[in-house]
Structure formats: C-alpha cells, structure tokens
Amino acid sequence: MVHVIIVGSGIAGLSAALSAVQSGAQVTVIERAAEGEHGGNTRYTEAYLRMKSMDEVADDFVDHFMANAGGYTDPSIEQEMVRDYDDWSPLAKSQSGVDPEILGTFAEQAGPTLRWLERAGLRFDFLPTAFITTTTTRLLPVGGGLALVETLTQACKDSGVTFRFQTTAQSLTTGADGVTGLRTSSGEIAADAVILASGGFEGNPEMLARYVGPGAINLRPVARGGHYNKGEGIRMALDIGAAPNGDFGSYHAEPIDPRSGVAEPAIFTFPYGILVNREGQRFTDEAPGTVDAHYENVTRRIYEQRGGIAWLITDARLDDVPNWQKGSRSDQPPMCGDTIADLAEALSLPGAALADTLERYNAACRDGAFHPLEKDGLATEGLSPPKSNWARPIDRAPFKAWPIISANVFTFGGLKVDRHARVIDQDGRAIPGLYAAGETMGIYYGTYTGSTSVLRGAVFGRQAALHACGQTT
C-alpha cells in the first residue's frame, strides 16, 4: 500500500488527503495547529471561486492569468512552451512563470474538482459577496471555507486518514530515489510520497523581511490561520534543489481595518470617498474601476505610505450607495466628526493639510450622473492623482473615516510544479516522491487573479494525490 504524507490541512491538504485515501493509499496528515483551529487560511475565508458555473471557469480566467504570468520571459523559451511539454528544454520546465501546462490543467480540472467536492458533501451557489461593483463571476461553497474544512476533515477521518495535530514538519528525508519521508517535531516518518500543502510564509516575519522587504513589518495576515503559515514547506523543498515559482517579493493584498480582530475585516467602500495618508494627502486614484478588479492595486499604494496606513474619508453621501455596509466588514465603528477639523483631530492627522486636500478635491469634482453600482465615469478634473469614477464632493456632515492597512492574504512565492503537482528541480526534472499544492505552490505574479486561490488548492491538491497513487487525469 502506498503511504502518502500530507503537510497541512487547508483546502489543498484536505483535497489531497481525501483523494489519496479514496485511491487506496495509507494517508497521514501533519498539521501544526490544534484540532479545531486547523485548516490554515481556508478555515476563515468565504472561498470565492472564479467560476461561471459548476463546470466552467469564468470567461476572464485564462486572460487574467496570462496578463500576470511573470516578468519579461525570453522569447525563445516562450516559443518552446507552445510545443508538447515533453519537448520542452530543462530551462523551460524550470522557468519561473505561469506556463500553459499549468494554466491549462487548472482551467480544465476546476469543474471536475468542484463536482468531486460536491460528491464529498459540499454545496455551491452564487451567493452575495462583499464587492459592491464587480467584473467577473464568482461561485461560493455554502458555509464558506469553514464548511470546506469541516466537511473534508470528517470525510477524511471516516475514510481512515490519520491526523497528527500540533505536529510541525521540519525537513524532508531523501535517498537515491528521491524523497523518502519527513522529519517532524515528533519524529521521522517514512513515506512513498510527500505532498507539501503547508501554506506560504505570511506568518514568518524573517522570510517576509527577506523577500518582501523591511516594510513587511506593517503587514499582517488577513486571518488567524495565516499566522500558522511559516514557510517550512517551501524552505525544505528549496533546500533539496526545488525550483522557485511565483513572485517571492509580493503577496495578495487586501484592505483591512487594523483595529479589528475578526477574520478578513475588509474595507471595500473606498471608491466612494478619498484615501489620505499620515500627511493628510491623497496619493492614488481611489476608483479606477470596479472594486473587485482594483482593490489589490489600491491596497498596494496604501502599503507604500509612511507606516503602511491610510484613512478612508467619507461623508453623508455614502448613504446614497445601496447597501454600502456589505463592503465594510470591520466590527469597529467609523471614526466621526461634525467638521473636518473635528475628524482630523480624531484621526490625529494634520488639520490644515486635510482641509486643503478636501478643498482641492471638492473643487475638482464635476456635475454628472452618479451610478454607484457601475462604473459611471464621474471623474475629477485637473486633479493629481485623479479620481476616475464616483467622484463627488465630500462636504456634508457627519464625516466618517476608517483606518486601512494592507493585509497579507497569502504570499506569492512558492515552488515550481508540473500539471501533476510534482515539484520541479532547478534542472527541470520532477523530484521523485515530492508534490506541492495550494499556497506552497507558486503561481501568482503582478495582480492576483482574484477568487482562484482556494480553487488552486483544491485542484492541485487532488492532482498531486492522484499522481502519487498511480492515477492521472
């Protein structure tokens, strides 16, 4: 009987575990967290899925990935990638980027993977999201990520999977034939295959400072589960020669209220106000387009400000936006003032600078039709930086403000894998017995292709397990 060790119990690890045990394998899951707090980021997410139906990815799925597929790739290597994968050179196979082999598998297997999850007892529907304006379609599991974790954990237990909670993976054991097992905080375990599904390194300040930069001290994981992701899975594979993939210097950014301790206290209402920094000055276009497509880029600009923080300033006109509260997920109330001077004092911002910023902004607003639920082109005139949509004066008391920082939802840097989720080494060869899925597998560059991370974990966790058990799809 094949013995498969899986490191991590988020969507990637649980999908791998259930697929492996259903394929007849002996399965052991290694998890740092205690039972009931396991599941990593998956436990806390709503698990948006970029699908237009249970069987088809969204229309912009492939195009968005290809527009954010890496840096400036050598054209000769790109030309290789249009050929059959077996004909690629070692350089092409180990190249950092989103290659067509991976992207094609991701898109093709998304639907079948969701159908498999459905058979495991999960339900999916087009439920409301936190985005007031959108450009793509999103499917959700009923019950969110918590339902994914609880349903799959129970299905794994019922099928005979062994869970070792409060156990930390430390390093891989290797032999002449590749990976032979895993060293853990409670001893060494031999295995025929190891699947690394232990997240990224958003919970490791040293790795964040090394890769993302010293400003990462102003980042925090978007939810409690991210604190458990300390990067061991990535490190132990790199230590035996694995090729890196994904942008190690970047991460998925989301705007959150730093006062809140709830999971994902996102503030998606900033397109209807202005953002100011510690100097009381605007620094970005708050509304270049729909919030779902642009919140990450705006949040990165917040991260660049002194202290990595900004404030959303709004007024009574915010109530003209239907159901704006769904885009404000903090459990903390806004900070208020009857005048701009009062608000500046409440925020500890320079009052004169904030008043000047608002005066110039208000003077740049023009008359026009306000359409809060779609791009309306109601833009400022003669203002730098501009505001491209939903630009209306902020002059009606009461004035409200929310502090916003950038959350680190997950890090982009990870391991290079092939379509079976086998980890590739620096010479373009699959490392026998080693697989990676979920955040541990690198795939993202530039702007995150939203609502694909949970899907990535499910698809490639399953692909890894099927291949490790002698099955391919």
* Tens digits of residue pLDDT in 410-465: 999 999 999 999 999 999 999 999 999 999 999 999 999 999 999 999 999 999 99
- The structure's pTM equals 0.97
Q: What is the pLDDT of residue 236?
A: 98
Burial 231-267, CB ≥16 within 10 A → b, else e: bbbbebbbebebbbbbbbebbbbbbbbbebeebbbbb
Q: How many CA atoms lie within 13 A of 221 on its CB side?
A: 22
- What is 3-250+412-468's CATH number? 3.50.50.60
Cα separation of 349 and 338, whole Å? Answer: 16
* Sequence letter at residue 432: P
Q: What is the pLDDT of residues 166-192, one digit of tens each?
A: 999 999 999 999 999 999 999 999 999
* Same-fold call for 3-250+412-468 versus 255-407: no
Q: 210 CB contacts (<8 Å, ≥6 apart)? A: none
Q: Is pLDDT above 90 for 339?
A: yes
Q: What is the pLDDT of residues 238-261, one digit of tens each?
A: 999 999 999 999 999 999 999 999
Give the SS3 label for residue 365. coil
**Sheet with 169-175, edge to edge strand ranges:** 169-175, 178-184, 187-190
* Sequence letter at residue 38: H
Q: Is 333 exposed, middle or buried (0-12, 13-18, 19+ CB in 10 A)?
A: exposed
Cα separation of 278 and 65, whole Å? Answer: 35
Q: How many CA atoms lie within 13 A of 366 on its CB side?
A: 13
Give the SS3 label for residue 43. helix
CB of 259 closer than 8 Å to CB of 456: no
State the chain's mean pLDDT as an integer: 97
Give the SS3 label for residue 161. coil
Radius of gyration of the chain (CA): 23
Q: What is the pLDDT of residues 107-152, one digit of tens each?
A: 999 999 999 999 999 999 999 999 999 999 999 999 999 999 999 9
Cα separation of 39 and 145, whole Å? Answer: 9
User: Which band of pLDDT confidence, cut at 50, 70 and 90, is reported for residue 277?
Assistant: very high
Q: What is the pLDDT of residue 473?
A: 56
Residue range 12-23: mean pLDDT, rounded: 98
CATH number belonging to the domain at 255-407, selected among 3.10.150.10, 3.10.50.40, 3.90.700.10, 3.30.420.40? 3.90.700.10
Cα separation of 179 and 181, whole Å? Answer: 6
Residue range 373-384: mean pLDDT, rounded: 97
Per DSSP (E only), the strands in 347-441 are 399-411, 414-415, 422-424, 430-436
Residue range 88-101: mean pLDDT, rounded: 95
Cα separation of 204 and 445, whole Å? Answer: 20
Residue range 266-284: mean pLDDT, rounded: 98
Cα separation of 272 and 394, whole Å? Answer: 10
Q: What is the pLDDT of residue 232?
A: 97
Q: What is the pLDDT of residue 472?
A: 76
Domains in the chain: boundaries: 3-250+412-468, 255-407
